[in-house]
């Protein structure tokens, strides 16, 4: 309230305060728009074509086996696949489950990362997420804890496959089916004397690590083995069927596939590119024709008289 | 209590002559002593009442009352009036008067967190998110961890808190500065310097020249003779003229400290309780020496915040301190208004919330069904019934979808609005350099409302006009003087019929010269002498004054002009300058001086004038001043002339003067004619009259007046009533005509606003003719308009007339543009329920509406009529205290910070210096704010729909379990990191068209009036767009990666990798969508838009390593994911393809809309671009920024 020095209240003349910052003000005039549509068309169609070709190069063979009588749970059976096109090494052997909700919330959260890293978890409350499979009889005694706890580990896929061509066994490579980062950091065996009830004997088992990386959709493939030789002709896969799927109307498949730079067989994205490319191209042409036939004069003042 | 009341009543009813009259009355003393008895009674009663009071002091309140008072901070006034024992703090202490510490800050360090949190949680959305956060803490319920809602909520609360803290810090600084100012206070027997905050009620302080007054003081004495002092009250009411205050005779000799101590030791002051009325005060002083009780009024009080001027020092007693002072009582904020956009947003939030509940319900049912069907699935290991699981999942879904309501919406709006207000405050084109006044946004809540105004209600005087008066003409004894055509006069006037010059009178009007010449002359004047107060060229007046039959009347007329006013003179050397609170009086006093009747000086008891160049001075003793107020519409002085006659001089509005004339009036008829003539030229008129009062009549009356002036309650009404008694039998001398010039650029602004589709109603207190004339000169009325004038004296006629006009208009085939002119009397009936709607219909049909002679209340009623019944945004603009009502009634109130003080500006939402800035405020700032806020709100909803509905899509594929598709921290940061800043930049900086285009194509504004950019359809459009995007953003990545092997090394894709792909597409899409909406790319827009995307990827890259750090084991879900995805070609092809596909629709539609459904702003944009490309653009850049103001001056030149 003390007397102020008289000074002007004139606002500062800065670009920001006066809203005069230098700016680029693009507007969607016909030229740039038509050109961008046509360019999108021209770029997308070939990309799509290349992807379709790449997808066509992939050889993929699928065989369902849970519906075969001889492959019922608890039995060993042979599934024959006819590889009519040569599959170049490396060939990947997958199992595929359908109608299995590995992405169910109850399922996804049911794990404990500390346990899986080999840390001894003694606090019962830390196993909260593993609900409903925390410990035997929900006991708070660490020696009764499941190791590892949770639904994912307890429901691990346990069918096994042996592949034969003729009467020769095809060697299947297990190493490298899991992510190296998972192997290095996320999964470590606990000390041998760790208290608890072992559900999985070896936490560093790559099959287990693969299983623990839950799938995004209820119909999923998981990498089982890598085959480092070319395959053609008839192959037989001997399945030891342990995994029950009847309780949830699931289906079990064996998949053999090669890959290219886009991965496995997947023409969808390629077609999508081609289709969208075509639409954009046609749209560009249509806009061009419209612009040529009945152009709207830019800045035509008659539209300024606001009518609507 | 009752005893106290009666005691005070006794003191009020005392009959005695007022101290301000030079009392020659010997009765004074005797009445004074006669009244000692009631006075003593009062004193003896006082003891008892004090005891009663003590029971009421807060310390004796029950504890719950204390708490109540503490919380509500309510006033706890004790008794019916305030009692102050001067210099006796121990006695005062029982009343618990507050000290002089003022606090405008809201918080202290301790109270900040609880108080601020409380305020923030008054906002429903925050409570909602808090509840969601609480749900998330329930184990096993939340799909997204515990802090996905709490985190952003804390960020949002923190941003608001920081803003509040900063604002409060500034307030604290100001408070400290004020509270630590120093002043001198009487301690013991000398003045001692202390800080303001240490002052207490009852202290005697000394203030010296050019110091601010530290508290509300009762003026005791001053260095000037007669105990007069002058104050400048710019801080209180914005008036910069000096106002005199005068000490009581009884105290004015208390100059030295010792005198004060002696004279005041048993003095006691009674006065009203603290209130916010700046212009009234009532109380009394008992000096304690057995003398009479003396009344005190506003003349004896100097208020905190005023500055002492032209006076060496004053002594005063503190009567109100700290928060009780009138200044602080007036600084209560304006009632908060919400914009229609915000109200609509709240409805949309409720709509979205309902939608969300339905969605959650649907999902919960589906979840129950899924559970029922897969009960046997061993891997899910269900426990509990399906219904139970479904029920629990409802809460899960509520958490999963909670952000369908955008959490960052309010904080974004707040930030953006602060900047918008900042732009308004700093706009150089709304800065008025003559008065050094920038525009001021007193609230930022209503920025967007400025872009939707459909009706403007404008005051006339001081708003459309400058309120700088110049004396133009007068009529004295039936003769008109002054020949200039007024500037306000307009050739088109001839087309309307207003009764003018009656025939056959002997008017000596020097008829108008050539009209064109006159206009040129005015032109010249406008350029040369904008500040003159006299614009009078007619030698015949001086001639007649010297020798004519009416010269005595002329002389008397001039004396009245020189004497009957409240102007203060300031003598510096030989020059006399005048300080007037009323511009009219200022002009009149100047005019009197011009004609040789110079007002020299005034004391509290006399006015001295000098006549016609003679050296001798004439002293007029002032007996009473009956002041002007808006009810009385006149002012009078009662003087004892040098000839020892008691005269009442009166000037006022014609209607009130004519009512009070004595029967035979020689000049009345001619004067009426002349008045009409003046009014039709747009001049303001005042009638001048006088009457002589007999000594005995006066003495009788003056006692009555004294009684009234000592009333503590309702003193004003009493004074008005008493004034009525003496102001009668007046003799009319003539009238003055004063011109109030239009402000710069008013006609241009009005036509611009009208082109923008805004209806303008003028509400003025002026006469009908004046109003119509001003209407023409500011182009509110044009010659081709049909004027509908409604003046009815009875309600029945009024109803008939309005309905008749309405029927006429409805039947008319070809519609001329019409204007409605209605006066206050008619409005009184027309605003009744029965016909108000008809009046409104009539008003809506007309292009302009002018209401004349309306009272402040009627102004508000008219605004309310429109506001309540039409779906339109109303804006009131005015400059005076009489506009405060309508300013607060309208959706948006704009005050002109001008000549009539700051009352209007103080109660307004936006204050501007000149009417012409209104165009820029609305068409530029309002329009931008509206478009920006509309986009911001829609976009905030859209981006959350786009993201969270992908979660819904995903839930269809995960067994309705509510599993989140996205990693929780990354999800948490969505609203506060990846998509927060670009939309702020858009809300702050975007301009769809240039400022020039806004002003040169006012039609662009119409879209705002009709609410085209923010309404249910627009909102639903954005929602559907969000829905479409979310489907694309979920379905395409899912379809592409469905087959599961995107990697060349044969590995398959997992849940969180798919989620990351989708999420990346979402982040890219919503940011690119904003890029599509951004019309103006400054470096800030580039930085925020591209920066958000870059930061998102950086986050993925860094967060992908988090799991490796021991204490940061939060990142297990996304551990290494981006590194793996980075090896996948399909990932890149997907994040290019999917956003493009999503935005393909938006892009195509924008183009189609521009070309086929072309809107005005498209065209304006194209024209802007053309202009920018033209070579002359860059050289004109500087000019174009100011083109509007230049344009208006250019047009002025052409006139």
pLDDT at B68: 66
Residues of A in contact with B1003 (CB under 8 A): 304-306
Residue among A11, A108, A272 minimizing CB distance to B963 = A108
Q: Between residues B714 and B71, which one has the greater pLDDT? A: B714
Interface predicted TM-score of the whole assembly (ipTM), two decimals: 0.96
Buried b (16+ CB within 10 A) or exposed e, A248-280: bebebbbbbbbbbebbbbbbbbbebbbebbebb
Residue A164 distance to chain B (closest CA, Å): 21
For range B331-347, the mean pLDDT: 77
Q: Which residues of B are documented as binding site for ATP?
A: 459-461, 585, 628, 651, 684, 764-766, 853, 859, 882-883
- Given a cut of 50, whether residue B1180 has pLDDT beyond it is no
Q: What is the DSSP code (8-state) at residue B428?
A: G
For range B686-711, the mean pLDDT: 88
Q: Tens of pLDDT along A160-203? A: 999 998 889 999 999 999 999 899 888 999 988 888 899 998 99
Interface test with A, best of B101, B379, B1012 (most A CBs within 10 A): B379
Interface test with A, best of B139, B998, B1044 (most A CBs within 10 A): B1044
Token pair in block for residue B1089: 């838009």
Residues of A in contact with B1120 (CB under 8 A): 179, 181-182, 185
Q: Tens of pLDDT along B53-110? A: 333 444 556 677 666 666 655 566 667 788 888 888 888 887 878 888 887 777 888 8
Are A195 and A120 within 8 A, CB to CB? yes
Number of domains in chain A: 1
B268-271 and B282-286 strand pairing: antiparallel
- As a whole number of angstroms, the distance between CA B1076 and CA B1160 comes to 19
Interface test with A, best of B396, B432, B1052 (most A CBs within 10 A): B1052
pLDDT at B1148: 95
Question: A14 lies in a domain?
Answer: no
Closest CA to B876 of B250, B247, B450, B548: B450
- Given a cut of 60, whether residue B1184 has pLDDT beyond it is no
Buried b (16+ CB within 10 A) or exposed e, B1099-1115: bbeebbbbbeeeeeebb
Question: Coil, strand or helix: which one is B255?
Answer: coil
- As a whole number of angstroms, the distance between CA B106 and CA B263 comes to 41
Residue among B305, B436, B1119 minimizing CB distance to A181 = B1119
CB atoms < 10 A from the CB of B292, how many? 23
Are A247 and A73 within 8 A, CB to CB? no
A160-165 and A168-169 strand pairing: antiparallel
- Given a cut of 50, whether residue B504 has pLDDT beyond it is no
Give the number of beta-carbon pairs within 8 Å between A and B. 296
Closest CA to B780 of B803, B763, B796: B763
B203, B459, B823, B992: the active-site residue:
B459
Are B396 and B419 within 8 A, CB to CB? no
For residue B1085, what is the nearest residue in chain A, using CA coordinates? A23
Are B626 and B607 within 8 A, CB to CB? no
Residue A225 distance to chain B (closest CA, Å): 10
Residue among A108, A221, A261 minimizing CB distance to B1045 = A221
pLDDT at B247: 87
Are B412 and B987 within 8 A, CB to CB? yes
- As a whole number of angstroms, the distance between CA A11 and CA B457 comes to 29
Residues of A in contact with B1081 (CB under 8 A): 23-26
**Residue range of the domain that includes A60:** 55-268
For residue B196, what is the nearest residue in chain A, using CA coordinates? A1
Q: Which residues of B are documented as binding site?
A: 459-461, 585, 628, 651, 684, 764-766, 853, 859, 879, 882-883
Q: Tens of pLDDT along B999-1042? A: 998 999 999 999 999 999 999 999 999 999 999 999 999 999 99
Which band of pLDDT confidence, cut at 50, 70 and 90, is reported for residue B230? Answer: confident
Residues of B in contact with A148 (CB under 8 A): none
Residues of B in contact with A29 (CB under 8 A): 1166, 1169
Strand partners of residue B28: none
pLDDT at B122: 81
Residues of A in contact with B423 (CB under 8 A): 17, 19
pLDDT at B78: 67
For residue A178, what is the nearest residue in chain B, using CA coordinates? B1051
Residue among B376, B1006, B1154 minimizing CB distance to A306 = B1006
pLDDT at B627: 82
Question: What is the Rg, in whole angstroms, of the alpha carbon atoms belonging to chain B?
Answer: 37
For helices B1129-1155 and B1016-1041, give the axis angle rounded to 10 degrees: 150
Q: Cα dihedral sign for A244, A248, A251, A254?
A: negative
- Given a cut of 70, whether residue A3 has pLDDT beyond it is no
Mean residue pLDDT across chain A: 90
Question: Coil, strand or helix: which one is B59?
Answer: helix
Sorted by sequence, the CB contacts under 8 Å of residue B952 that are 6+ apart come out as B359, B363, B401, B1030
pLDDT at B1186: 39
Q: Tens of pLDDT along B1109-1152? A: 766 567 788 888 999 999 999 999 999 999 999 999 999 999 99
Backbone phi and psi for residue B1033, each to the nearest 5 degrees, phi listed first: -70, -25
Question: Coil, strand or helix: which one is A281?
Answer: helix
Residue B214 distance to chain A (closest CA, Å): 9
For residue A181, what is the nearest residue in chain B, using CA coordinates? B1120
* B618-626 LR contacts (CB < 8 Å, sep 24+): B618/B642, B620/B563, B621/B22, B623/B21, B623/B22, B623/B698, B623/B702, B624/B18, B624/B20, B624/B21, B624/B702, B624/B705, B625/B566, B626/B719, B626/B723, B626/B726, B626/B727
Q: Tens of pLDDT along B528-537? A: 333 357 777 7
Residue among B425, B1058, B1116 minimizing CB distance to A113 = B1116
Q: Which residues of B are documented as binding site for Mg(2+)?
A: 459, 461, 879, 883
Sorted by sequence, the CB contacts under 8 Å of residue A104 that are 6+ apart come out as B380, B958, B959, B961, B963
Helix and strand totals (H; E) in chain B: 44, 33
Closest CA to B457 of B126, B874, B1002: B874
Q: Tens of pLDDT along B240-269? A: 667 788 888 888 888 888 888 888 888 888
The DSSP result for B124-139, as a single string, is HHHHHHHHHHHHHHST
- As a whole number of angstroms, the distance between CA B859 and CA B865 comes to 10
Question: A48 lies in a domain?
Answer: no
A179 with B1051: Cβ contact below 8 A: yes
Question: A86 lies in a domain?
Answer: yes
Are B1045 and A54 within 8 A, CB to CB? no
Q: What is the DSSP code (8-state) at residue A61?
A: E
Residue B164 distance to chain A (closest CA, Å): 22
- Given a cut of 50, whether residue B185 has pLDDT beyond it is yes
For range B29-34, the mean pLDDT: 33
Interface test with B, best of A269, A276, A288 (most B CBs within 10 A): A269
Closest CA to A263 of B402, B1043, B638: B1043
pLDDT at B873: 94
What is the C-alpha end-to-end distance of chain A, expressed in Å?
A: 54
Token pair in block for residue B103: 């606090």
Strand partners of residue B221: B315
B379 with A103: Cβ contact below 8 A: no
pLDDT at B12: 36
Closest CA to B746 of B886, B860, B892, B896: B896
A20 with B1185: Cβ contact below 8 A: yes
- Given a cut of 50, whether residue A212 has pLDDT beyond it is yes
Residue among B425, B963, B1150 minimizing CB distance to A103 = B963
SS (H, E, C) B528-540: HCCCCCECCCCHH
Domains and CATH numbers, chain B: 197-330 (2.70.150.10), 430-465+743-924 (3.40.50.1000), 468-483+531-740 (3.40.1110.10), 937-991+1014-1171 (no CATH)
Question: A298 lies in a domain?
Answer: no
Residue among A1, A13, A279 minimizing CB distance to B428 = A13
Residue A70 distance to chain B (closest CA, Å): 22
Length of chain B: 1199
Q: Tens of pLDDT along B398-452? A: 999 988 999 889 889 989 999 999 999 999 999 998 888 899 888 888 999 999 9
Share of chain B above pLDDT 70, in %: 84
- As a whole number of angstroms, the distance between CA B760 and CA B6 comes to 53
Phi-psi region of A26 (alpha: psi -120 to 50; beta: other; left: phi over 0): beta
Residues of A in contact with B378 (CB under 8 A): 155, 244, 247-248
B1051 with A301: Cβ contact below 8 A: no
Give how far the C-alpha of residue B601 lies from the chain's centroid of Cα atoms, to the nearest Å. Answer: 37
Q: Cα dihedral sign for B972, B978, B983, B988?
A: positive
Q: Cα dihedral sign for B131, B133, B139, B141?
A: positive
Burial class (CB in 10 A: 0-12, 13-18, 19+), B1070: buried
Closest CA to B331 of B425, B236, B421, B238: B236
Question: A195 lies in a domain?
Answer: yes
A60-64 and A220-227 strand pairing: unpaired
The answer to whether B459 is a known catalytic residue is yes
Q: Tens of pLDDT along B1070-1118? A: 999 999 999 999 999 999 999 999 999 999 999 988 887 766 567 788 8
- As a whole number of angstroms, the distance between CA B776 and CA B681 comes to 10
Residues of A in contact with B1001 (CB under 8 A): 304
pLDDT at B503: 37
- As a whole number of angstroms, the distance between CA B311 and CA B655 comes to 40
B617-626 and B634-640 strand pairing: antiparallel
For helices B768-777 and B668-680, give the axis angle rounded to 10 degrees: 20
Residue A249 distance to chain B (closest CA, Å): 9
For helices B409-425 and B981-989, give the axis angle rounded to 10 degrees: 30
Share of chain A above pLDDT 70, in %: 96
Q: Which residue has 């916010």 as its token pair?
A: B276
CB atoms < 10 A from the CB of B660, how many? 18
Q: Between residues A109 and B502, which one has the greater pLDDT? A: A109
Token pair in block for residue B428: 């150089």
Q: What is the dihedral of CA B642, B645, B646, B652, to 10 degrees?
A: -70
- As a whole number of angstroms, the distance between CA B966 and CA B948 comes to 10
Mean residue pLDDT across chain B: 81
Are B479 and B957 within 8 A, CB to CB? no
Q: Tens of pLDDT along B937-995? A: 999 999 999 999 999 999 999 999 999 999 988 998 999 899 999 999 999 999 999 99
Question: Coil, strand or helix: which one is B976?
Answer: helix
- As a whole number of angstroms, the distance between CA A68 and CA A54 comes to 33
CA distances (Å), origin B225, targets A91, B246, B313, B577, B652:
113, 10, 12, 20, 32
């Amino acid at each position: 309230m003390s007397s102020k020095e008289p000074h002007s209240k004139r606002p500062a003349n800065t670009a920001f305060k006066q809203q005069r910052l230098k700016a680029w003000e693009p507007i969607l005039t016909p030229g740039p728009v038509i050109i961008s549509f046509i360019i999108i068309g021209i770029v997308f169609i070939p990309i799509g074509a290349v992807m379709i070709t790449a997808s066509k190069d992939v050889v993929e063979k699928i065989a369902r086996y849970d519906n075969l009588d001889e492959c019922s749970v608890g039995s060993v059976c042979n599934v024959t696949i006819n590889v009519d096109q040569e599959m170049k090494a490396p060939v990947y052997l997958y199992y595929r489950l359908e109608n299995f909700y590995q992405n169910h919330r109850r399922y996804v959260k049911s794990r404990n990362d500390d346990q899986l890293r080999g840390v001894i978890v003694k606090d019962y409350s830390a196993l909260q997420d593993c609900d409903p499979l925390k410990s035997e009889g929900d006991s708070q005694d660490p020696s009764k804890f499941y190791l590892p706890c949770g639904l994912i580990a307890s429901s691990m896929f346990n069918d096994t496959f042996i592949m034969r061509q003729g009467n020769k066994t095809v060697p299947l490579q297990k190493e490298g089916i899991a992510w190296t980062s998972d192997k290095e950091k996320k999964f470590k065996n606990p000390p041998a004397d760790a208290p608890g009830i072992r559900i999985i004997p070896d936490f560093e088992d790559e099959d287990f690590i693969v299983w623990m990386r839950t799938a995004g959709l209820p119909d999923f493939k998981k990498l089982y083995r890598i085959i480092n030789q070319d395959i053609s002709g008839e192959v037989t896969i001997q399945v030891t069927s342990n995994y029950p799927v009847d309780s949830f109307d699931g289906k079990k498949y064996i998949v053999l596939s090669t890959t290219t730079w886009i991965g496995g067989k997947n023409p969808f994205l390629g077609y999508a590119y081609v289709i969208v490319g075509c639409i954009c191209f046609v749209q560009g042409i249509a806009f061009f024709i419209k612009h040529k036939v009945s152009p709207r004069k830019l800045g035509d003042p008659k539209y300024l008289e606001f009518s609507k | 209590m009752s005893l106290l009341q009666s005691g005070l009543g006794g003191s009020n009813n005392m009959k005695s002559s007022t101290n301000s009259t030079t009392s020659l009355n010997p009765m004074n003393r005797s009445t004074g002593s006669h009244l000692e008895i009631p006075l003593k009674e009062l004193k003896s009663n006082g003891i008892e009442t004090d005891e009663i009071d003590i029971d009421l002091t807060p310390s004796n309140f029950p504890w719950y009352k204390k708490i109540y008072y503490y919380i509500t901070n309510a006033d706890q006034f004790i008794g019916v009036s305030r009692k102050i024992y001067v210099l006796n703090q121990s006695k005062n202490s029982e009343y618990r008067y507050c000290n002089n510490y003022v606090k405008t800050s809201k918080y202290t360090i301790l109270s900040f967190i609880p108080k601020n949190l409380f305020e923030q949680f008054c906002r429903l959305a925050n409570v909602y998110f808090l509840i969601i956060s609480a749900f998330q803490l329930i184990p096993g319920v939340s799909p997204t961890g515990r802090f996905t809602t709490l985190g952003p909520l804390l960020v949002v609360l923190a941003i608001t808190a920081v803003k509040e803290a900063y604002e409060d810090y500034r307030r604290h600084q100001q408070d400290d500065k004020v509270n630590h100012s120093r002043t001198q206070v009487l301690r013991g027997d000398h003045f001692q310097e202390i800080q303001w905050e240490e002052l207490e009620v009852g202290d005697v302080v000394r203030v010296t020249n050019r110091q601010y007054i530290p508290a509300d003081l009762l003026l005791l004495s001053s260095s000037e003779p007669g105990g007069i002092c002058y104050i400048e009250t710019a801080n209180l009411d914005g008036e910069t003229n000096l106002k005199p205050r005068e000490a009581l005779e009884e105290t004015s000799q208390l100059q030295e400290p010792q005198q004060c101590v002696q004279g005041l030791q048993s003095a006691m002051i009674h006065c009203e309780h603290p209130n916010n009325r700046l212009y009234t005060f009532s109380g009394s002083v008992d000096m304690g020496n057995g003398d009479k009780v003396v009344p005190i009024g506003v003349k004896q009080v100097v208020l905190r915040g005023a500055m002492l001027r032209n006076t060496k020092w004053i002594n005063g007693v503190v009567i109100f301190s700290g928060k009780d002072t009138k200044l602080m009582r007036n600084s209560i904020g304006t009632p908060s208004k919400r914009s229609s956009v915000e109200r609509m947003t709240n409805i949309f939030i409720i709509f979205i919330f309902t939608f969300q509940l339905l969605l959650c319900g649907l999902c919960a049912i589906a979840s129950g069904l899924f559970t029922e069907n897969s009960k046997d699935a061993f891997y899910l290991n269900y426990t509990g019934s399906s219904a139970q699981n479904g029920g629990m999942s409802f809460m899960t879904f509520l958490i999963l979808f909670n952000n369908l309501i955008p959490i960052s919406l309010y904080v974004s709006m707040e930030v953006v609005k602060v900047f918008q207000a900042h732009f308004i405050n700093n706009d150089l084109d709304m800065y008025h350099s003559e008065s050094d006044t920038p525009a001021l946004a007193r609230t930022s809540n209503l920025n967007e409302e400025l872009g939707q105004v459909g009706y403007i209600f404008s005051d006339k005087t001081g708003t459309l006009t400058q309120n700088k008066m110049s004396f133009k003409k007068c009529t004295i004894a039936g003769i008109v003087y002054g020949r200039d055509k007024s500037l306000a006069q307009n050739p088109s006037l001839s087309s309307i019929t207003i009764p003018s010059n009656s025939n056959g009178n002997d008017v000596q009007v020097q008829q108008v010269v050539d009209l064109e010449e006159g206009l040129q002359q005015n032109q010249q004047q406008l350029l040369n002498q904008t500040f003159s107060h006299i614009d009078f060229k007619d030698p015949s007046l001086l001639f007649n004054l010297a020798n004519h039959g009416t010269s005595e009347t002329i002389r008397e007329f001039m004396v009245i002009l020189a004497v009957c006013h409240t102007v203060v003179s300031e003598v510096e050397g030989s020059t006399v300058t005048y300080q007037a609170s009323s511009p009219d009086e200022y002009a009149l006093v100047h005019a009197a001086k011009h004609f040789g009747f110079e007002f020299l000086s005034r004391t509290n008891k006399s006015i001295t004038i000098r006549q016609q160049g003679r050296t001798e001075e004439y002293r007029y003793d002032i007996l009473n001043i009956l002041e002007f107020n808006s009810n009385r519409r006149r002012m009078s002085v009662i003087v004892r002339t040098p000839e020892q006659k008691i005269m009442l001089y009166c000037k006022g509005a014609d209607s009130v003067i004519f009512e009070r004339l004595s029967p035979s009036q020689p000049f009345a008829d001619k004067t009426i004619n002349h008045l009409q003539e003046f009014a039709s030229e747009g001049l303001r008129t005042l009638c001048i009259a006088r009457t002589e009062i007999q000594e005995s009549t006066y003495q009788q009356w003056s006692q009555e007046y004294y009684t009234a002036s000592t009333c503590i309650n309702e003193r004003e009404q009493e004074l008005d009533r008493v004034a009525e008694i003496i102001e009668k039998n007046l003799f009319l001398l003539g009238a003055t005509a004063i011109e109030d010039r239009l402000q710069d650029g008013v006609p241009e602004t009005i036509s611009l606003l009208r082109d923008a589709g805004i209806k303008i109603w003028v509400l003025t207190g002026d006469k009908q003719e004046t109003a119509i004339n001003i209407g023409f000169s500011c182009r509110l009325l044009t010659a081709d308009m049909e004027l509908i004038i409604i003046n009815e004296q009875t309600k029945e006629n009024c109803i008939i007339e309005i309905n008749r006009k309405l029927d006429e208009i409805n039947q008319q085939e070809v519609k001329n543009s019409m204007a409605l002119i209605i006066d206050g009397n008619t409005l009184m009936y027309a605003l009744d329920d029965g016909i108000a709607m008809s009046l409104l219909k009539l008003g809506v049909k007309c292009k302009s509406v002018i209401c004349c002679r309306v009272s402040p209340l009627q102004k508000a009623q008219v605004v309310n009529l429109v506001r309540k019944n039409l779906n339109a945004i109303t804006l009131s603009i005015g400059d005076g205290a009489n506009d405060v009502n309508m300013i607060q009634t309208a959706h948006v109130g704009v005050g002109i910070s001008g000549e009539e003080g700051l009352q209007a500006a103080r109660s307004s939402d936006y204050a501007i210096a000149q009417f012409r800035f209104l165009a820029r405020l609305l068409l530029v700032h309002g329009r931008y704010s509206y478009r920006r806020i509309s986009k911001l709100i829609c976009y905030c909803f859209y981006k959350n729909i786009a993201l969270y509905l992908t979660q819904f899509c995903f839930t269809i594929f995960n067994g309705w379990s509510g599993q989140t598709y996205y990693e929780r921290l990354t999800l948490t940061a969505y609203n506060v990191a990846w998509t927060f800043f670009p939309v702020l930049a858009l809300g702050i900086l975007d301009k769809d068209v240039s400022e020039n285009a806004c002003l040169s194509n006012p039609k662009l504004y119409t879209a705002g009036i009709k609410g085209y950019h923010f309404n249910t359809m627009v909102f639903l459009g954005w929602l559907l767009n969000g829905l479409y995007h979310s489907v694309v953003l979920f379905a395409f990545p899912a379809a592409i990666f469905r087959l599961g092997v995107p990697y060349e090394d044969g590995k398959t894709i997992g849940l969180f990798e798919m989620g990351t792909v989708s999420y990346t597409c979402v982040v890219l899409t919503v940011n690119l969508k904003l890029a599509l909406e951004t019309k103006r790319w400054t470096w800030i827009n580039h930085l925020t838009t591209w920066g958000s995307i870059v930061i998102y990827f950086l986050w993925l890259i860094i967060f992908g390593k988090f799991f490796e750090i021991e204490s940061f084991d939060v990142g297990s879900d996304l551990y290494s994911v981006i590194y793996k995805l980075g090896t996948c070609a399909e990932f890149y092809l997907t994040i290019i393809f999917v956003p493009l596909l999503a935005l393909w629709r938006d892009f195509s539609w924008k183009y189609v809309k521009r070309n086929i459904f072309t809107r005005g702003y498209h065209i304006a944009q194209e024209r802007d671009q053309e202009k920018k490309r033209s070579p002359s653009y860059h050289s004109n850049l500087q000019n174009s920024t100011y083109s509007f103001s230049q344009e208006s001056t250019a047009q002025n030149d052409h006139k």
